[in-house]
Amino acid sequence: MSLSSSASGSPDAVARAQIEARKRLFSIGGWLALVGLLALSYGGAGIDFGKLWTNRANIAELAGDFWPDHFLQFIQRAEWGFYVLEMWETVQIAIWGTFLAVIFAVPFGLMCAENVAPWWIVQPTRRMMDSLRAINEIVFALLFVVAVGLGPFAGALALFVHTTGILAKLFSEAVEAIDHRPVEGIRATGASGLDEIVYGIIPQVMPLWVSFALYRFESNVRSAAVLGIVGAGGIGMVLHEELRAFNYPTAAVIMIIIIVAVSLLDVLSARLRRLAV
C-alpha cells in the first residue's frame, strides 16, 4: 500500500472527512430551515411587494410633500437653532441612559456569566435581563411618563432599563469567552474571587465592553429620537407634532438634522472603538 493511500485512510483523515460532511449537512439543513421559515411566515407578515407598485402614485405624492418646490427657501428660514437644541437634548438623553445602563450592566453581566456565578444566581438574573430586553423602550417610556411626568427624564429612564438588559447579556457572553489561564494563575496565588474578577477577567473583556457600550450609545441616540413621540422629550416630540400637523417640509428638516447627528456620532464612536480595541 502506498504512503498516500495509507494517509488518506488514517483515523485522523476519516475524522476530518466526517466533520466536513457534518458541516455540509448542517449548512444545507440551515438553508432549508431558513427557506421553510420564510415561507411559513409569508402570509402572517402580510408580505405583498405588489402594493409598492400599485400604490406608487401615493408614494410619489408623499415624497413630493416632503420636497416641495419651495423647499430650498423653506430650509433658509427654518428654525435651525431650535431644532439643533432639541437634537442636543436627544443626545443628552442617550448619554445618561447609556451611562446608567453600563453602571448596572457590569454587575448584572457578571452575575449572568456561568463561569463566574453559581447557577442559582445566573438563571434568575438572566430571566430578569430577558424581561428588560423583551419590552421595547417605547413601552418603558410610556410607563415612566406616567411615573415621573413628561420630559427627557422619562426617556433617559426608559433607555436605561432596556439597555441594561441588552448590555448585561453582551457583557456576560464576553466574560464566558475569556481565556481562563490568567484567572487560574491569579487563583493559584490565593487571591480572592473579587481579585480574580478585577485582575483576571475585567482586563480581558474591557475592550469588548467599551465597544458594546459605544454601539448601544449609537442605537440609543436613534431610540431617543423616537421616544419623544410618547412625550419623553427630545427632537422626537417636535417631529411627531409636525407629522401630525402634516407639515412635511418641517419634518424633512428635522429628519435631516437627525441623520447628520447620528452620522457624526457614528464616525466618532467608530474612532473610539478602534482606540478601545
Residue type (1 letter), 249: P
In a domain, 175, yes or no: yes
- Nearest Cα to Cα of residue 214 among 176, 178, 152, 268: 268
DSSP 20-51: HHHHHHHHHHHHHHHHHHHHHHTTTTT--THH
Question: Which structural domain range is residue 266 located in?
Answer: 73-276
Residue 77 has a pLDDT of 64
> C-alpha cell of 159?
433607555
Residues 39 and 156 in one domain: no
In a domain, 58, yes or no: no
Residues 10 and 101 in one domain: no
Residue 1 has a pLDDT of 45
In a domain, 56, yes or no: no
Residues 32 and 150 in one domain: no
Residue 159 has a pLDDT of 95
* Residue 85 CB neighbours (<10 A): 12
Residue 165 has a pLDDT of 95
Q: How far apart are CA 131 and CA 21, in angstroms?
A: 39
Residue 14 has a pLDDT of 60
- Nearest Cα to Cα of residue 175 among 198, 158, 154: 198
Low-confidence ranges of the chain (pLDDT < 50): 1-8
Q: What is the DSSP letter of 196?
A: I
Residues 17 and 104 in one domain: no
pTM of the model: 0.79
Residues 139 and 36 in one domain: no
Residues 97 and 157 in one domain: yes
- Nearest Cα to Cα of residue 205 among 232, 175, 166: 175
Residue 5 has a pLDDT of 46
Residue 124 has a pLDDT of 94
Residue 113 has a pLDDT of 92
Residue 21 has a pLDDT of 65
In a domain, 271, yes or no: yes
In a domain, 54, yes or no: no
Residues 24 and 122 in one domain: no
In a domain, 129, yes or no: yes
Instruction: State the total domains in the chain.
Output: 2
> C-alpha cell of 102?
453600563
DSSP 199-223: IIIHHHHHHHHHHHHHHHHHHHHHH
What is Dmax (Cα atoms) for the chain?
Answer: 88
* Alpha helix segments (H runs only) across the chain: 3-8, 11-41, 50-54, 56-66, 71-76, 80-112, 119-134, 137-148, 152-176, 180-188, 193-195, 202-227, 235-244, 248-276
Residues 197 and 258 in one domain: yes
Residue 36 has a pLDDT of 86
In a domain, 87, yes or no: yes
- Judge contact between 163 and 216, C-beta under 8 A: yes
In a domain, 206, yes or no: yes
Residues 36 and 93 in one domain: no
Query: Cα separations (Å) of 139 from 41, 84, 135, 173, 236?
Result: 26, 26, 7, 27, 15
Provide the CATH number for the domain around residue 178. Answer: 1.10.3720.10
- Nearest Cα to Cα of residue 112 among 93, 133, 91, 97: 133
Residue 98 has a pLDDT of 95
- Nearest Cα to Cα of residue 122 among 110, 133, 131, 105: 110
Q: What is the DSSP letter of 197?
A: I
